[in-house]
């Protein structure tokens, strides 16, 4: 139909942590949602999956972006910008990108991850 019903799932080490709202019937969703989550000291990566909600079947994965712990550590002021989505299924072609702000925040008990999921296109 030329549009999707996209939402985003934030996963830490493949464990779903946060889900944005679904934006109906668009290829350019705006979420503007901010999150702050605790990180396990030994975490390896944070991933952002852009999904297409389907009422009658399983939701489709549009694409994903993964940032390793090392990549986050290399940017002490955090990352803010557009990142190209990569495929989850090697047989699927992916086009699109997501606009994120991600930063590791110090914490008393455990480090935290601050992230803002702005939009996708």
Residue 71 placed within a domain: yes
Q: Supply the CATH number for residue 67's domain.
A: 2.60.40.150
Residue 80 placed within a domain: yes
pLDDT digits (tens, 9 = 90+) for 53-87: 998 999 999 999 999 999 998 998 999 999 999 99
pLDDT digits (tens, 9 = 90+) for 8-48: 999 999 999 999 999 999 999 999 999 999 888 889 999 99
Q: pTM above the 0.75 mark?
A: yes
CB atoms within 10 A of CB 19: 13
Residue 27 placed within a domain: yes
DSSP 45: E
Q: Which domain holds residue 55?
A: 6-120
Q: Which of 25, 45, 41 is nearest to 102 (CA)?
A: 45
Residue 29 placed within a domain: yes
Residue 1 placed within a domain: no
Give me the number of domains the chain comprises. 1
């Amino acid at each position: 139909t030329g549009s999707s019903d996209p939402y985003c799932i934030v996963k830490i080490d493949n464990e779903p942590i946060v889900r944005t709202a679904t934006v109906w019937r668009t290829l350019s969703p705006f979420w503007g949602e901010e999150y702050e989550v605790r990180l396990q000291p030994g975490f390896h990566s944070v991933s952002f999956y852009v999904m297409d909600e389907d009422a009658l079947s399983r939701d489709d994965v549009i694409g994903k972006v993964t940032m390793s712990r090392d990549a986050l550590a290399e940017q002490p002021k955090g990352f803010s910008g557009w990142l190209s989505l990569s495929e989850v299924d090697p047989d699927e072609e992916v086009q699109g990108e997501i606009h994120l702000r991600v930063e590791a925040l110090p914490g008393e008990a455990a480090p935290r991850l601050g992230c803002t999921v702005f939009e996708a296109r």
